A and B are shown apart, each in its own frame.
Chain A
Amino acid sequence: MAEKLVPVVCAWCSVGCRLYIVNDNGYPKKIEFDYDHPGIPNKGKLCPKGVASFQYLRHPDRLRKPLKRAGERGEGKFVEISWEEAIKEIAQKLKEIKEKYGPEALAFLGTERISVEANYVLQKLARALGTNNVEHPGRFCQSTVFFAKQKILGNPFLTNPFEDITKTKAILIWGYNPAATSPVFFGQYVERAVLDNGAKLIVVDPRKTETAKFADIHLQPYPGTDLAVALAMLNVIIKNELYDKDFIAERVEGFEELAKKVEQYTPQWAEKISGVPAELIEKAAITFATAGKGALLQQMGSTQHANGTLLHMALAALIVICGYVGKEGVMSGAIPGAYNAMGVSMMGVDCDMLPGRVSVEDEEEVKRIEEIWGFKIPRKPGLTYFRIIEAINEGKVKALYIVGVNPAKGAPNSAFVREALKKAEFIVVQDVFPNETAQYADIVLPAAAWYEQEGTIMSFERRVQRSFKAADPPGDAKPDWQIIVEVARALGLGEYFNYSSVDDILREINRTVPILAGATPERLKENIEGCIFPCPDEKTETTRLFLDGFMTPDGKAHLIPVDYEPPGEVPDEEYPFWLTNFTLVGQFRTGVRSFRSKSLEKRWPEPFVMINVSDAAKLGIKTGDLVNVETRRGSLTARAEVTPNIREGVIAMPWHWDFNYLTADVLDKYVEMPELKTAACRISKVEG
C-alpha cells in the first residue's frame, strides 16, 4: 500500500500535539488523529489549525527554487538560480562583508518554526563567524517573562506537567486566551479543571473571551495597566496575611522589601489606573491566595508591553508568596506561542545566550562550549532583534540572514523596518513562502516545511519530541539545517559543521547542553511521547521544577519589588482609545502559512475591529460599518464588530493581517520587548 501514517508534532502552537500525516507516495494527503499513544499531551485531540496543518504544504506559492533579486529591493523581482550559485554567492558576500566591516556587520535571525537542530546550527554559524548578533522572534513574545522568572526563580520554564492543572484549585489566566491560542491545552486541562474539578478561574483580559466565559472572576484592565492590578493583588494578599509563611521563611528572599513596596498600591489606587473595580481586585486576590494550590498562566497580552518585565516580576512574586511553586498541583511559567519557541530559546538563538541558556559572559561555561565546538566564541552580547534593525538603518549591520521570520510584517513599527531593510547591503531569506520580508532579499532560499523534514521540537511543557519526515518538499526545497550547513561549509567552516543528519547535530547538543544529555536521538525515536527536560541522562526526566529549591545560586527565590510604570503610550484627547490586538483560533501569526490553508482561510477570512456597544453608540458605528482606526504611526480600515465583549474605551483587532505598523517602538528597558499590545488610537466611521 502506498499510503502510510507518519507521526509528526503539530506545526503551529507550542502545546506539542502529536498527529499523523497520511503520506501518499510522498504527497501529504490528509491527517489522522494519534489515539495510539496515551502518554502524549493532546490525547489524540487537535484544534482547527492542527487538523488543517498539512494544507499549505503544496500551495502553489511555495518557494521551489533558489532566487536572486533582479529588480529594486522591495520590488519583489527575482530570477531562479541553482543551489550551487546561491550558496556560493551567500558565502562570498558574507565573507566580503566580514572582512570589510568586521563580524559585527553580520546578523542572523532564527525562528520557532524550525527544529532544535536547525536553530542550533544557525546560532553556531553566527558564533563561528565571530558575532553574537543572532536573535529570534521570542524577543517580541516571551522575553519579559523569561527574564523576570530567570532572575527571580533561576529558570523561566513551565514548572509542572499539564496534568497538574487538573489538580489545582485556582487558575489565574493573565493576558492569555488559551481557548483560542492553545485550544487543546485549554480543552484537555484547563476546562477539565474548571468544569469537572471545580477549580476557580480568574481571567485578566480587557476582552471577554471564550476563556473568560468560564471565569468566576473576570478583571478587565485597560491594556498595559495590568501591572497596577498585580501590585494591588500583592497588596491585598500581604495586608490580609494570606501568604504562605512557612514557604517564605524557608525559600524566599526579599519578602519584607516587597511588602513595604506594595503598601501604597491599594486596590482603590489600582481601580483609578486600570478601570477594574477595587472589590473585584480584592476578591481575585483572596480567591487566588486562599485556594491552597494555584496556577498562573500568561501569554502575549501580558508580555508584550514596555512594562512587561515589571509585570512579570510582580506576578512571579505573587505565585512565590502564595507558595504555588515546587509542588504537585501548581503551575506557572512561560507559555510561548509557536511550536518550537522553547527549542529556539534553549538553543541560544539569542544575542546574549548560548545553547542551554548560558550567558555569553559566563567565562567558565563559554570555555566549556568552546572546547566542544573548537573555535572562539565572542564574549560581548550582540544586538537584540530591534537593535539589529536599527543598526541596519544606521549602516552598522550590513548583512542579515533571516530564517523563517517576517520582520517586514511582524516587527513593531513595521514601516520603519521596511525602510531599514532597503538599506542593507545583503539580505538572505530562507523560508517556505515568499513572505513580505523576502521582497527585500538578495537571495531567497526555498526551505522544506516542518512536516517535510525530520527534527526535534520542545513544547511549552518542556517536552522534547521527535517529528518525522511525512512528505517530500516541493521542487528543490531542502531542510533548513542542511542549507545552513552547506553555507557554513562554503564559508570554509566545514570542520565545525561535520554533520550528515539531524541525529549527528542532536548528539552534539546532548554534549553541549548537559540538561539535554538524555534527550538522545535513540530515546526520542523509541518513545513517541518524548521526554521532559531537564533530562541529564537517558533514564531521567524532570516533570516538576523547584521541588527542592529554586535554580538560583542559593536555591532561594529572590523577589524583586517593583514600582508602577504606565505603558509606553496612553490615550489622550487626540487619540482617546486604547488599541489592543488578539489572536484568532484559526489563524497564526502573520498568516504566512495559515492564510494559505484552505479550511482556515475560509472560516477566518479577514480582520475586524471590536468596539464596545456604548462607545459605538456615541460614534454612530454599527456592526458591519467600515471604520478607520488611526494611531500616530498609521491607519487601517476594516469592518466594525459592535460587541459587549470588549470593555469601554478599548478597541481590539486580530493582529494577523497587517497591524504592527500601528504600534509604537517603545521598548521594555530590561529586554527591549516592544510595546506591541497597546497604542493610543482614534476610530471613525468611513463615510460613503
Chain B
Amino acid sequence: MSKKIFIDFKRCIACKACEVACEVINGEAKIRVFEFPDLTSVAFNCRHCEKAPCMEVCPVNALSKDDDGAVVLDPLKCIGCLMCAVACPFGVPKLDEANKIMDKCALCAGRRAKGLLPACVSACPTEALKYGDINDVLWAREGKIVANLKSSAKRGKGENALLVL
C-alpha cells in the first residue's frame, strides 16, 4: 500500500519543528518550510511521486520504491550525476557535498522499519503533516467536510460550511 506525507498548509504555523526534527534524526533537513509575507507557510518535502521522474532518469537505478511506496536512494549505487535533481519538478534531491552523491528524503525508512512515524510528522505540533494511506487520509477529510456541511446546514449557515475544513 502506498503511504505518503500529506500537508495541510492551513494548519501550519511555520514553527519549523519538522525541519529541526528531520535534521536531528537524519543529520540534514530534507523538509523545508517556505514562509510568505502574509504569514502563509508551506512545509515541503519529497512527494514520493507515483511515477517518479527521478527514478525514471537515474542511469544506474540508484532510486527505487520500497514497500510503502517511498522513493529511496541506494548510496552505494549513486554516482552523483545529478540527473534526479534535474528531473525532480520540486527540486528535492540534493548533492551531499562531502560524499559527492545524492541525498533525499526516504520517508524515514529506518524509523518506518521500527514502526515509528517519520520524524517530521512525529514532531509537527499542529498536525499539518499527516502520514498515511492516501485513501484513508482523503476519506477522513471528505468525511469531515460532509459533517461540517451537515451541521452548518442545520444551523442555517450553508454558505460558510466550506470554511471549516
Interface on A for B, CB 8 Å cutoff?
30-31, 33, 35, 42, 44-48, 50-52, 55, 179-180, 183-184, 186-188, 191, 195-196, 198, 208-210, 213, 585-586, 599-600, 603, 643-645
- Give the residues in chain B near A46, CB-CB below 8 Å: 17, 21, 122-123, 125
A45 pairs with B125, CB closer than 8 A: yes
> Do residues A35 and B122 form an inter-chain contact, with CB atoms below 8 A?
yes
Contact indicator B16/A603 (Cβ below 8 Å): yes
Residue of B nearest to A598 (CB): B23
Measured between beta carbons, the chain A residues less than 8 angstroms from B76 are none
Query: Inside 8 A of A210's CB, which chain B residues have their CB?
Result: 13-15, 39
CB-defined contacts of A180 to chain B, threshold 8 Å: 13, 15
List residues of chain B with CB within 8 A of the CB of A208. 39
Whole-angstrom CA separation of A498 from B98 in the bound complex: 55
A44-B122, A46-B17 are known contacts; what are 16 more A-B pairs with Cβ within 8 Å? A30-B24, A33-B116, A33-B117, A35-B117, A45-B124, A48-B19, A51-B21, A52-B20, A180-B13, A187-B13, A191-B13, A195-B164, A195-B165, A208-B39, A599-B20, A603-B16
8 Å CB contact of B23 from A42, A184, A209, A599: A599
The reply to whether B15 and A183 form a contact with Cβ atoms under 8 Å apart is: yes
Determine if A603 and B19 form an interchain contact, defined as CB atoms under 8 angstroms apart: yes
Contact A186 B125 (CB under 8 A): yes
Question: Mostly helix, strand, loop or mixed at chain B's interface?
Answer: loop
Closest chain-B Cβ to A176's Cβ sits at a distance in Å of: 14
Q: Main SS of chain A's interface residues?
A: mixed
Q: Does B156 contact A (CB under 8 A)?
A: no
- B10 at the binding interface (Cβ < 8 Å): yes
Contacts of B122 in A (CB 8 A): 33, 35, 44-46
B134 at interface by CB-CB < 8 Å: no
Given known contacts A46-B17, A48-B19, A210-B39, is B125 in contact with A187 (CB within 8 Å)?
yes
- Which one, B11, B39, B123, contacts A645 given CB within 8 A? B39
Q: Which residues of A sit under 8 angstroms from B13, Cβ to Cβ? A: 179-180, 183, 186-187, 191, 210, 213, 585
Would you list 10 pairs from A and B whose C-beta atoms are within 8 A, ordered by A residue? A35-B122, A48-B123, A180-B13, A187-B11, A195-B164, A195-B165, A208-B39, A210-B13, A210-B15, A586-B20
Q: Cβ of A47 and Cβ of B19 under 8 Å apart? A: no
Contacts of B125 in A (CB 8 A): 42, 45-47, 183-184, 186-188
Q: B127 an interface residue at 8 Å Cβ cutoff?
A: yes
Nearest Cβ in chain B — how far from A123, in angstroms?
A: 34
When distances are taken between beta carbons in the complex, the residues of chain A under 8 Å from B116 are 33
Given the complex of chains A and B, what is the CA–CA distance between A487 and B116 in angstroms? 46
State in angstroms the CA–CA spacing of A191 and B13 once bound together.
10
Option from B20, B123, B165 in Cβ contact (under 8 Å) with A603 = B20
Please report which residues of chain B, range 19-46, place their CB below 8 angstroms from some CB of chain A when the two chains form the complex.
Answer: 19-21, 23-25, 37, 39
Assuming the contacts A208-B39, A603-B20, asked whether A51 and B15 have C-beta atoms less than 8 A apart, the reply is: no
Q: How far is the CA of A210 from the CA of B36 in the complex (A)?
A: 12
Within 8 A of A (CB), among B124-142: 124-127
Kindly list chain B residues whose C-beta atoms are within 8 Å of the C-beta of A644: 37
The CA of A599 and the CA of B18, in the complex, are separated in Å by 12
- Which residues of the other chain, A, contact B39 by a CB distance below 8 angstroms? 208-210, 213, 645
**Given that A30-B25, A33-B123, A183-B125 are contacting pairs, would A48 and B37 also be in contact in the complex, using a CB cutoff of 8 Å?**
no
Q: Which B residue sits closest to A209, measured CB to CB?
A: B39
Instruction: Name the residue of chain B whose CB is nearest to the CB of A55.
Output: B24
9 smallest beta-carbon distances between A and B, as pairs: A187-B125, A187-B126, A48-B20, A179-B13, A33-B122, A184-B125, A183-B125, A210-B13, A183-B15
Shortest C-beta distance, B34 to chain A (Å), equals 13
Q: Which of B20, B37, B122 neighbours the largest number of chain A CB atoms within 10 Å of its CB? A: B20
Q: Check B11 against A586 for contact (C-beta < 8 Å).
A: no
Q: A195-B10, A600-B20, A645-B39 are in contact. Are A48 and B124 (CB under 8 A)?
A: no
A45–B129 Cα distance when bound, in Å, is 12
A179 to B10, CA, bound (A): 13
A residues in contact with B164, CB < 8 Å: 195-196, 198
Q: How far is the CA of A611 from the CA of B25 in the complex (A)?
A: 37
Question: What residues on B are CB-neighbors of A645 within 8 Å?
Answer: 37, 39
B11 touches A195 (CB 8 A): yes
Bound Cα distance A55, B19 (Å): 15
Q: Closest B residue to A623 by CB, please name it.
A: B37
Which residue in chain B gives the minimum CB-CB distance to A586?
B16
A-chain residues with CB within 8 Å of residue B16 when the two chains form the complex: 48, 585-586, 603
Contacts of B25 in A (CB 8 A): 30
* Chain A residue nearest in CB terms to B35: A210
Q: Which of A30, A50, A210, A643 has the most CB of B within 10 A?
A: A210
Instruction: Please name all residues of chain B whose beta carbon is closer than 8 Å to the beta carbon of A186 when the two chains form the complex.
Output: 13, 125-126
The residue in chain A whose Cβ has the minimal distance to the Cβ of B8 is: A195
Q: Which residue of B lies closest to A214 (CB)?
A: B13
Q: Is the Cβ of B17 less than 8 Å from the Cβ of A31? A: no
Measured between alpha carbons, how far is A338 from B116 in the docked complex, in Å? 30
Residue with the greatest number of chain A CB neighbours at <10 A, chosen from B17, B25, B164: B17
A96 to chain B, nearest CB (A): 48
Tell me whether B10 and A48 are in contact (CB under 8 A).
no
> Which residues of chain A are near B117, meaning CB under 8 Å?
33, 35
Is A585's CB under 8 angstroms from B10's CB? no
Q: Are B23 and A183 in contact (CB under 8 A)?
A: no
Q: Which of B15, B25, B117, B164 has the most CB of A within 10 A?
A: B15
In the complex, what residues of B have CB within 8 A of residue A603's CB? 16, 19-20
With known contacts A179-B15, A210-B39, A187–B24 Cβ distance under 8 A? no
When the two chains form their complex, are residues A51 and B14 in contact, meaning their CB atoms are under 8 A apart?
Answer: no
Which among A45, A586, A643 has the greatest number of chain B C-beta atoms within 10 A? Answer: A45
Give CA–CA (A449, B130) in the complex, Å: 34
A52 to B125: give the CA distance in the assembly, Å: 14
With CB as the reference atom, state the residue of chain A lying closest to B128.
A187
Q: Which residue of B lies closest to A178 (CB)?
A: B13
Residues on the B chain within 8 Å of A198, using CB:
164
